[in-house]
Amino acid sequence: MTMRWTLLRSLAIAAALLAGVAPAYAHGFAGPGWLHPLTGPDHMLAMLAVGAWSAQVGGRAIWIVPSAFVGAMALGGALGLVGIAVPATEVGIALSVLCLGALIALESRAAIPLAAIAVGLFGVCHGNAHGLEMPGSQSPLVYAVGFLATTAGLHIVGAVLALLVLDRNKGRMALRLGGAATSLAGVAFVVRLVGLPIALA
């Protein structure tokens, strides 16, 4: 284990622990902007998955894909801050978890421009939800900078964790299994939103 990977692992563990202490307010949020992306499992899983998928694709994707998500998220957040709701935002968020997990599970090597567009569409939904839930007492600029910074941090954590996994024996398969689990969580989010019954027999 090189010093580089030891440092990356330490950063990933520290960031994961920091994320884990955040309370889950879900909706009806009343905290600062930096905390908002940490208050729902759908947001967190999608943002971690963006980072992980970018690392799996490799090359320039590792910074272009997360940057596209954050940029689109800023646009969606701006719309939300002025009270404009993007149609089917919650469904888009749930689908982002399902689709990003599936892309990782399938080890998709999409062209970087297409990957950036895909995550950008999801980013608009996530940003819009954050913007719409801004507490009235918050400064819009400070709030937006907060949730964008946390989002970027989650992308970094996802990418670093994926790189650490890929560096290990059978790491590719482990990452794909993690993607499959993420996709299944996305299915659960979609089912919950649309109210479909799940047959047990």
Domain residue limits, the chain: 41-194
- Over residues 142-161, mean pLDDT: 92
Residue 77 token pair: 């957040």
* Global pTM value: 0.81
Looking at this protein, which amino acid is placed at residue 123?
A: G
- Over residues 44-61, mean pLDDT: 95
Q: Tell me if 112 sits within 8 A of 60, measured CB to CB.
A: yes
Q: Which of 22-36, 111-125, 153-167 has the lowest mean pLDDT?
A: 22-36
Mean pLDDT, the chain, rounded, equals: 83
pLDDT attached to residue 36: 66
Give me Rg for the CA atoms of the chain: 16
Residue 137 token pair: 């007492």
Q: Which of 33-42, 63-72, 90-99, 145-154 has the lowest mean pLDDT?
A: 33-42
pLDDT attached to residue 122: 96
Confidence class for position 7, pLDDT limits 50, 70, 90: very low
Phi and psi (nearest 5°) for 23? Answer: -70, 155
Q: How far apart are CA 32 and CA 62, in angstroms?
A: 28
- Over residues 55-84, mean pLDDT: 95
Q: Give the list of residues 6+ apart from residue 101 with CB closer than 8 angstroms, or none.
A: 45, 49, 179, 180, 181, 182, 183, 184, 185, 186
Confidence class for position 33, pLDDT limits 50, 70, 90: low
Q: How far apart are CA 88 and CA 92, in angstroms?
A: 6
pLDDT attached to residue 19: 44
Q: Tell me if 16 sits within 8 A of 157, measured CB to CB.
A: yes
